[in-house]
Amino acid sequence: MAEKFERHRQPWTPAEIQKLHTLAKKGMGLKSIAKALTRTEESVKDRAKADGLSIAKLR
């Protein structure tokens, strides 16, 4: 069964956006940023794309 996210479709707060920008600039991967923000990877990816950020692809 798929995980249930408690924060489904919640709007981004200015603090979360600031943290996203900071973590992306540090070169963190998508999975770790999503975990730090308690958001889905898809949500983080969409927000980063909307803000023009690039997230490191860690392999």
Domains and CATH numbers, the chain: 14-51 (1.10.10)
Q: What's the pLDDT at 5? A: 54
Can you tell me which residue has the tokens 């949500």? 43
Q: Which two tokens stand for residue 24?
A: 């992306």
Q: What's the pLDDT at 17? A: 93
As a whole number, the mean pLDDT across the chain is 86
Are 30 and 54 in contact by the 8 Å Cβ rule? The answer is no
CB count within 10 Å of CB 28 equals: 18
Each residue's pLDDT tens digit, 4-28? 556 667 899 999 999 999 999 998 9
Locate all alpha helices (DSSP H) within 1-59, ordered by sequence.
Answer: 14-25, 30-37, 41-51
Q: Does 1 have pLDDT greater than 70?
A: no
Q: Which two tokens stand for residue 2?
A: 């798929």
